[in-house]
Amino acid sequence: MRAALTASPMLLLHPSRGLIDEKFSLIVQNLSRIQDITLHALIHSDDGDYWEAFGHYVSDATGFVNVANDSSLGGTYDGVEPMGLLWSMRPVPGSRIGLRLRKKEVHTPMVVHISVYRGHMSQGFREQVALASVVTERWYMAPGVRRIDITEGGVTGTLFLPPGPGPFPALLDLWGGGGGLVEYRSALLSSHGFVSLALEYMTPRTSGGSTSHVGNEYFEAAFTVLKQHPQVCGDSIAILGLSFGTSVALGMAVYSTVIQPRCLVCVSGSHVQPVKGSLSDVFGEINKNVRNTRYDEENRVIWRDLLLPIPTDPTKKVDVGQLKCPVLMIVGEDDQNWPATESAEDMKEMMEKAGNSHLLTTLSYPGAGHLIEPPYSPHIRASNFMVAGTKQKLVVLWGGETAPHGHAQEDSWKKILSFLEEHLYRSTDVTSQSNL
């Protein structure tokens, strides 16, 4: 008598191609009933490193696992976590120290290989044969988004334009004290219908051979480039700053006569800085407190105390009581790099006294660290950091715990997009959003 044919295990993933902030569904079928399996995700980064995540599951009585509904019993994440295979990624064993997963080539996708293995595994995946595998592409740039190098008006950066003629609302996208040109957040913002200029600053080519002597006029010139672009709605421009970029955003919004943003998004930053001066003056003020630098048990640098205590001297912090536009503050309560919590509290007090606290919205996330990025990006608790203007490389402690940090990234990104739509789109005729 011929034995009954048994279907092979199968992985079903939808959509197989999507934006990096888009959820996917992942189902395993044709397993044995109550079978132990491991789902494993693997990425080969633009830097040439391998990152992985894995979860342990047990199939139901029909040989079925649905990641959206079923709990991971162990691995790099626990519980019901539909996107845990992405946000819990970490370098594979034996990797270089201090890695950070960042997309450098935004015109190519993040390619994720997902496989299912027999049993509950935690290592040795390359030596095992998978029961089934599938590949998904995660993009920062949606189809039709245009990437343009900007080198005009003394400004260096990358402009991302959504599909269509516009005009569109726009953002000036400012990263932190590490310097360099970081494009992936701007690409993703443009995929959601905003023109975004990823601005390079604190590098020799943007500051005449120096790295921190960028004057305020540089940011004003960048804002003007956006404002005058024919596909930008000039009265609907926001500034988004992360870390030190927040300091720039707040200072420009209050004191510049050229920069008049419709709203601000400030992630993991502070208002503490000399009121008058260049970036060099800001760093000089920070360096006065270098004695407050701490190190954890693994000798990773903790810089959050360099701005503490929050000064009472009004010349040492931006007068946020003068802000005239809405501000969204994103705070990780375990930020070990920047005193974001204390800064947000002081800003609230200052704005309450000035009568403009109605403009401030603060989202504070327990267990989240400093590097709050677009959703499903891996949590990076510590990584290598090159101090701007030097060749000194350190391992900096950013803080946060994997699961709460991942949840903070997902929640805050949704609210950032809603905030931008509320304050930028209502003044334009553009209503459609682009996606994959």
Annotated active-site positions, please? 243, 335, 370
Per-residue CA distances from 352 to 321, 344, 345, 355 (Å): 8, 12, 11, 5
Place of tokens 């003394």: 154
Give the contacts of 79 (CB within 8 A, at least 6 positions apart).
71, 72
Peptide bond between residue 93 and the one before it cis (omega within 30 degrees of 0): no
Q: Which of 423, 243, 401, 418 is nearest to 331 (CA)?
A: 243
Token readout for 296 is 């954890």
Per-residue CA distances from 384 to 137, 376, 393, 396 (Å): 27, 21, 7, 6
166 touches 234 (CB < 8 A): no
Q: How many residues does the chain have?
A: 436
Sequential DSSP letters for 112-166:
EEEEEEES--SS-GGGS--SEEEEEEEESS-TT-EEEEEEETTEEEEEEE-SSS-
Token readout for 181 is 């040109």
Rounded Cα–Cα distance for residues 245 and 267 (Å) = 8
Rounded Cα–Cα distance for residues 9 and 358 (Å) = 55
92 touches 50 (CB < 8 A): yes
Beta strand pairing call for 327-332 and 263-267: parallel
For 147, list phi and psi in degrees, rounded to 5: -110, 125
138 touches 110 (CB < 8 A): yes
Q: How far is CA 359 from the centre of its chain?
A: 23
Rounded Cα–Cα distance for residues 240 and 174 (Å) = 6
- The amino acid at 348: K
